[in-house]
Amino acid sequence: MNVKALTFLLFPLAASAQGFAGLGTDADGFAVPKPDPVFDFPADHGPHPDYRIEWWYLTANLQAEDGTPYGLQWTLFRSALAPEAGEGWTAPQLWMGHAAVTTPDAHFVTERLARGGVGQAGVTADPFAAWIDDWQLAGRFDALTMTASGPDFAYDMDLTATGPLIFHGADGYSVKSASGQASYYYSQPFYEVAGTLTLPSGEVAVTGNAWLDREWSSQPLAEDQEGWDWFSLSFEDGTKLMGFLLRQTDGSAYSSATWIDAESTTAYGDGAFSARPLAMAKVAGREIPTSWQVTLPDRGVDVTVTAIYDGAWMETSVPYWEGPVTVSGSHQGKGYLEMTGYE
CATH tag for 41-339 (out of 3.50.50.60, 2.40.370.10, 1.20.1270.360, 2.40.40.20): 2.40.370.10
Domain ranges of the chain: 41-339
Task: Give the C-alpha distances (Å, rounded to integers) separating 33 from 172, 183, 218.
Answer: 10, 6, 8
Other CB atoms within 10 Å distance of the CB of residue 209: 20
pTM above 0.75, yes or no: yes
23 pLDDT band (50/70/90 cuts)? very low
Contact (Cβ atoms closer than 8 angstroms) between residue 310 and residue 289: no
pLDDT confidence of residue 250: 86
Say which DSSP state 251 is in. S
Nearest residue to 2 via CA among 57, 73, 61, 70: 57
Element (H, E) at 206: strand 202-217
263 phi and psi, to 5 degrees?
-100, -30
pLDDT digits (tens, 9 = 90+) for 171-219: 999 998 888 889 999 999 999 999 999 999 999 999 999 999 999 998 7
> Would residue 229 be called left, alpha or beta, if left means φ above 0 and alpha means ψ between -120 and 50 degrees?
beta
pLDDT at residue 62 above 90?
yes
Sign, CA torsion 316/317/321/323: negative
